[in-house]
Structure 1
Amino acid sequence: MQFDYYIGIDYSGRGEPTKRTSGIQVVEMDRDGQVSRISPNGLHGRTFSWSRKEVYDYLRNRLTEQKHRFVIGIDHSLSFPVTYFKQHDLSNWDEFLNHFQALWNTKVESVRDCKERVDDYPNHNELRITETFTASAKSAWNFEQKTGTVAYSTHAGLPWIYELRQSFRENLHNWPYDGWKPCSEKSVLAEVYPSLLYKRFRQNDPGFPLEWPRDAQDAYAIAAWLRERDLNGTLERYFEVSTLTEQEKQLALQFEGWILGVC
């Protein structure tokens, strides 16, 4: 097995960045399959609701532990369609992150407040290639969707991804932007889509936490899938995504990224 811990994060763009919401849940599994539904700030189960600032602090603290290797799955988009890069003359993902976090200050303000000062997207239904390979993924620009919108979580989360990128460039592999095959010494952060995993684990996993709320179950499904794939030796194949054409792989590597598990 490549990793010591498998972390699933179900994310939310609701409210202020320092306000806790039940829509943000964190689940860890270790190599042996021991499951922990994590509480923020060591609160030992008194609350399982997180703020986005607390999630960032938690990941920062975990990544500081050089003795363990983690794979982290988070359920918001890590990039935009390539048309956005062309419109703003951005040549790669790092330039995109720097541009985005300067435009959307969601480390301090709510998405809703920032949105009032930023121009609307020309096509709120535009998808990246990886999203067109699924049956139900929505655009990160679609703020009109009433429930489960990835737009709010993406716009709330990307500036924190930028901060992680700045702080842990040497020991965190941001997949696939740092390469399709992660370095064996680094932890990995990847975009996931728990709707692709949820029913499978709910139906077939005897340890599935039926008593947990859906957001926590989604975080569980992410962590369980990552561990299962690592345990049976197929996680590396999912990282490589050999089903893509060279043109698709280059587009994802440089600009749009990819959802781990989508083939």
Structure 2
Amino acid sequence: MRFDCYIGIDYSGRGEPDRRTPAIQLVEMNPPGFFRRISPDGAQAKTFGWSRKEVYEYVRDALLERNRRLAIGIDHSLSFPAAYFAEHGLQNWDALLEHFVQNWNTKEQPVSVCREKAPGYPNAKALRLTETFTASAKSAWNFEQKTGAVSYSTHAGLPWMYELRSAVRDTLHVWPFDGWEPPAGKSVLAEVYPALLYQRYKQFAADFPQDWPRDAQDAYVIAAWLRERDQNGTLERYFRADTLTEREKRMASQTEGWILGVC
């Protein structure tokens, strides 16, 4: 197996960036399949909610442990539709991150506060190509969506992606922006959509944590899927995304990104 640990992160854009919420859950799973919900440092027993700042610090510190190769899945959009790049003259994903943190200070303030100052979007239902390949993925710009919304978590999470990219660029491969086939010696972080995996594991995983809240279950299915794909040797094929055309792969790796597992 390629990785030493699989981490599923169920994310949320709720509230202040340094305030814990039960909507943010982390699950770790090792190669034999043992898994656990993780509590942030200093939390009381059975307190599993995280703040976004704590998630960043945890992932950063885990990636600095060079003796472990991590596969990390997170459930918010890592980028915007390609039209946004053209409109703002952005050449690649790193340029988007830098542009975003200049317009959205969600590393310091709630998304709701930043929305009042940031420019709006011309089409609140715009989708990336990877989202059109699913039946239910929502636009990262749709703040009015009440069920399955990803807008708040995306806008809250992108500045932390910028910070993570700056802190551990030499040890972390962000898929697919750093390439479709991650080097053997690096940890990998990818966007994953747990709604695509949930029923599969709920129905067929013997150790599915039925008594956990849904946010924790979503973190579990991300970690479980990454481990299962690595164990049966198919994760490399998902990384390569060979069902996409060269044009689609070029757009995804340069600008829009891709949801791991969508084909």
> Equivalent residue of 1:40, what SS?
coil
Q: What letter corresponds to residue 7 of structure 2 in structure 1?
A: I
Deviations along 1:29-56, one digit per CA (max 9) or x if unpaired, are 0011110100011537430001000100
Residues 138 and 148 of structure 2 are in contact (CA less than 8 Å); yes or no, is this contact kept in structure 1? no
Q: Is 1:208 aligned with 2:221?
A: no
Over the residues paired in the alignment, what is the CA RMSD in angstroms?
0.8
Q: Is 1:199 aligned with 2:192?
A: no
Q: Give 2:11's aligned residue.
A: 11
1:148, CA displacement in angstroms?
A: 3.1
> Equivalent residue of 1:59, what SS?
helix
> Equivalent residue of 1:9, what SS?
strand
> Equivalent residue of 1:124, what SS?
coil
Specify every segment of 5 or more residues in structure 1 that has no aligned partner in the other structure, as ranges. Answer: none
Q: Give 2:181's aligned residue.
A: 181
Residues 13 and 152 of structure 1 are in contact (CA less than 8 Å); yes or no, is this contact kept in structure 2? yes
With structure 1 as the length reference, what TM-score do the two structures score? 0.99
Q: Give 1:94's aligned residue.
A: 94
Residues 77 and 140 of structure 2 are in contact (CA less than 8 Å); yes or no, is this contact kept in structure 1? yes
Q: Give 2:21's aligned residue.
A: 21
Q: Partners of 1:7 and 1:43 in 2: how far apart?
A: 19
With structure 2 as the length reference, what TM-score do the two structures score? 0.99
Percent identity, please.
Answer: 66
Alignment of 1:99-248 (within 5 A): 99-248=99-248
Q: Partners of 1:169 and 1:152 in 2: how far apart?
A: 25
Specify every segment of 5 or more residues in structure 2 that has no aligned partner in the other structure, as ranges. Answer: none
Q: What letter corresponds to residue 41 of structure 1 in structure 2?
A: D
Residues 38 and 45 of structure 1 are in contact (CA less than 8 Å); yes or no, is this contact kept in structure 2? no
Q: Name which of structure 1's ranges 42-51 and 196-205 shifts more when overlaid on structure 2.
A: 42-51
Residue-pair matches, total? 263
Q: What letter corresponds to residue 75 of structure 1 in structure 2?
A: D
Residues 20 and 51 of structure 1 are in contact (CA less than 8 Å); yes or no, is this contact kept in structure 2? yes
- Structure 1 ranges of 4+ moved more than 4 A: none
Q: What letter corresponds to residue 159 of structure 1 in structure 2?
A: P
Q: Partners of 2:256 and 2:154 in 1: how far apart?
A: 13
Q: What letter corresponds to residue 165 of structure 2 in structure 1?
A: R
1:147, CA displacement in angstroms?
A: 3.2
1:170, CA displacement in angstroms?
A: 0.6
> Equivalent residue of 2:125, what SS?
coil
Q: Partners of 2:18 and 2:169 in 1: how far apart?
A: 25
Q: Name which of structure 1's ranges 151-160 and 35-44 shifts more when overlaid on structure 2.
A: 35-44
Q: What letter corresponds to residue 163 of structure 1 in structure 2?
A: E
Q: Partners of 1:39 and 1:46 in 2: how far apart?
A: 7
Q: Partners of 1:148 and 1:47 in 2: how far apart?
A: 24
Q: Give 2:81's aligned residue.
A: 81
Q: What letter corresponds to residue 259 of structure 2 in structure 1?
A: I
> Equivalent residue of 2:61, what SS?
helix
Q: Partners of 2:16 and 2:194 in 1: how far apart?
A: 24
Residues 209 and 217 of structure 2 are in contact (CA less than 8 Å); yes or no, is this contact kept in structure 1? yes
Q: Partners of 1:124 and 1:42 in 2: how far apart?
A: 39
Q: What letter corresponds to residue 115 of structure 1 in structure 2?
A: R
